């Protein structure tokens, strides 16, 4: 039955109104009958959509905000849902696309991106727009507190399981908005991590910015269950498991940017804490020239990575930028005639042209086992995320001695100490001496905030620093853009130890790392401290910052 006949049959419009609309449609064939009836005021939008739903045997839905599937919606930019006024909801374990005109949606495109089948439903355009504007994570959301305080205390088992109660709690609109806003503000502040830490009477939210933790805001402790459950849902974790640590991963889309989020949940005395590592794929554009290397350091790096075989090691603590430097080096030599394979834990950024493998010890895919398999895939260049044991070290060295260029990392304080570490885990000195090309130690130092940068008065400088100095020291006064720290952004400082014949002989003789370092300095090696002081003289950072990371 046609829509006009259905409307008359349901008593929503009189026959003369239908006839009038049909006459207008003959004059304006591009207009649909329903649009004409709405313009004439002959029928309400709700009645029209309900009748269309009956005509096409589809449901008409209202009050669906609590069912809004935010994690699915954010796989498309906000502009997509504006172009095709609609939204996805989760109802009875099925995904519905709700729209005022669902039959015109690019359904195949949506299902491909969502990786699931969908059903169609009619809904009022005003409600669709309202739900999207309140719940879709996008630039422009400025408030951090939810519009209304959610009921976040976990109910007892009464009429349902704890899992069902937590699921219901996590899907409440205020909780969804709050989690979205926590993540969005972290990205706005260029945070690398979000720390969600429960206390006795509050939930503490902190952002790690430029390597330092900063308090963002505090929430009532009663919000903890809902927020953690929402994070678990986003990262496909078990929301009912609150006794054991869990790790997960999710991807959200902000406009045209894909943000990977690594999630770790840990049970603590006051409830589950969570840390979210934010990885903005679009922001990773680093080349060797962007890392803070000066020309002499660039020349050394280029010489090392141009070798046909051997091992190049990067050393430094967690969070010192080793992975970024490795990726930049690999991109520099990522030629079509080379097969580059990486073994990482985890894969942080996807680099086109590389075969990247993520280790998974739970199923036996360790660095050593993975490396054994990789060598059968005819690689030219290998990157091993970290040398953690003797077996991995031995296999990496054997690979380098059989014609492969190998990159890896170690946790040592300086470059020379990496040699000692390899010997300590049981690698023979002659293997270390013959395989190592060079060792690079690095740290990250914070840059002086350009918005509040000022010269330090000379009378406030210590005499040894002030005397004989022709240029100024600088500092950051502190402003809103730098969280009153005086620093904004980071750069790297490096210590390059290239192995010459003397150093190789020192390795064979098992000489202490300090003696090797002292010899290298006499041959022109710049230590981490010296590299940092050069950044201070250039007005990029402060002496206090250099001493913090390279004392």
Average pLDDT over residues 145-161: 41
Give 242-292 pLDDT, tens digit per residue.
899 999 998 887 666 778 899 999 999 999 999 999 988 766 667 888 888
pLDDT at 346: 85
Cβ–Cβ contacts within 10 Å for residue 89, how many? 22
pLDDT band at 457 (very low <50, low <70, confident <90, very high): confident
Distance CA 1, CA 16 (A): 18
User: Is the CB of residue 132 less than 8 Å from the CB of residue 81?
Assistant: yes
Token readout for 197 is: 């830490």
pLDDT band at 417 (very low <50, low <70, confident <90, very high): very high
pLDDT at 139: 41
> What residues form DSSP beta bridges with 344?
358
Give 332-362 pLDDT, tens digit per residue.
999 999 999 999 988 888 888 999 999 988 8
Topology of domain 60-135 in CATH is GMP Synthetase; Chain A, domain 3 (3.30.300)
Residue 375, CA distances (Å) to 223, 338, 396, 401, 422 in order: 50, 14, 10, 13, 21
Segments making up each domain of the chain, as ranges: 3-55, 60-135, 162-282, 288-446+490-549
pLDDT at 410: 95
What would the CATH number be for the domain defined by 288-446+490-549?
Answer: 3.40.50.300
Count CA atoms within 13 Å of residue 26 on its CB side: 5
Average pLDDT over residues 314-333: 93
Phi-psi region of 323 (alpha: psi -120 to 50; beta: other; left: phi over 0): alpha
Nearest partner of 428 among 535, 510, 345, 320, judged by Cα: 510
User: For the chain, what percent of residues have pLDDT higher than 70?
Assistant: 89
Give 465-518 pLDDT, tens digit per residue.
555 555 678 999 988 888 788 999 999 999 999 999 999 999 999 999 999 999
Topology of domain 162-282 in CATH is Beta-Lactamase (3.30.450)
Token readout for 149 is: 């305080």
Residue 54, CA distances (Å) to 4, 35, 58, 325 in order: 12, 17, 6, 60
User: For the chain, what percent of residues have pLDDT higher than 90?
Assistant: 54
């Amino acid at each position: 039955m046609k829509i006009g006949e259905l409307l008359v049959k349901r008593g929503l419009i009189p026959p003369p109104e239908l006839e009038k609309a049909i006459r207008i449609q003959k004059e304006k064939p591009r207009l649909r009958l329903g649009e004409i009836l709405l313009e004439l005021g002959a029928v309400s939008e709700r009645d029209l959509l309900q009748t269309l739903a009956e005509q096409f045997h589809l449901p008409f839905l209202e009050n669906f905000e609590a069912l809004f599937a935010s994690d699915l919606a954010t796989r498309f930019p906000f502009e997509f849902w504006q172009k095709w006024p609609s939204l996805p909801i989760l109802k009875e374990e099925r995904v519905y696309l709700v729209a005022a005109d669902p039959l015109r949606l690019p359904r195949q495109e949506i299902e491909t991106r969502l990786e699931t089948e969908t059903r169609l439903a009619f809904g009022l355009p005003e409600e669709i727009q309202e739900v999207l504007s309140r719940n879709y994570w996008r630039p422009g959301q400025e408030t951090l507190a939810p519009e209304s305080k959610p009921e976040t205390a976990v109910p007892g088992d009464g009429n349902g399981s704890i899992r069902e109660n937590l699921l219901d709690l996590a899907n409440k609109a205020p909780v969804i908005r709050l989690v979205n806003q926590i993540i969005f503000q972290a990205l706005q502040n260029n945070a690398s991590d979000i720390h969600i830490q429960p206390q006795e009477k509050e939930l503490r939210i902190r952002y790690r910015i430029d390597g330092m933790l900063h308090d963002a805001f505090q929430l009532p402790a009663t919000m903890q269950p809902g927020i953690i459950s929402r994070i678990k849902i986003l990262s496909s974790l078990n929301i009912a498991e609150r006794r054991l640590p869990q790790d997960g991963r999710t991807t959200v889309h902000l406009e045209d940017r894909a943000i990977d989020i690594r999630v770790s949940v840990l049970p603590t005395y006051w409830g589950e804490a969570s840390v979210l590592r934010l990885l903005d794929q679009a922001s990773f554009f680093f080349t060797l020239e962007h890392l803070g290397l000066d020309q002499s350091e660039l020349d050394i790096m280029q010489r090392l990575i141009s070798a046909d075989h051997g091992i190049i090691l990067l050393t430094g603590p967690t969070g010192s930028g080793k992975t970024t430097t490795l990726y930049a080096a690999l991109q520099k030599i990522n030629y079509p005639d080379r097969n580059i394979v990486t073994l990482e834990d985890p894969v942080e950024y996807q680099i086109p042209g590389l075969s990247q493998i993520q280790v998974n010890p739970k199923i036996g895919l360790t660095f050593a086992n993975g490396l054994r398999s990789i060598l059968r895939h005819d690689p030219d260049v290998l990157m091993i995320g970290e040398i953690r044991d003797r077996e991995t070290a031995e296999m990496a060295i054997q690979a380098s001695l059989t014609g492969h260029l190998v990159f890896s990392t170690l946790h040592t304080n300086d470059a020379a100490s990496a040699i000692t570490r390899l010997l300590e885990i049981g690698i023979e000195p002659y293997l270390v001496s013959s395989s190592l090309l060079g060792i690079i130690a690095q740290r990250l130092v914070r840059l002086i905030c350009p918005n509040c940068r000022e010269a330090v008065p000379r009378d406030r400088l210590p005499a040894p620093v002030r005397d004989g100095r022709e240029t100024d020291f600088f500092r950051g006064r502190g402003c809103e853009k730098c969280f009153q720290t005086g620093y904004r952004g980071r750069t790297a400082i490096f210590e390059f130890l290239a192995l010459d014949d003397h150093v190789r002989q020192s390795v064979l003789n098992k000489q202490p790392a300090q003696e090797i370092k002292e010899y290298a300095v006499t041959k022109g090696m710049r230590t981490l401290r010296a590299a940092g002081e050069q950044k201070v003289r250039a007005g990029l950072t402060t002496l206090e910052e250099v001493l913090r990371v390279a004392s």
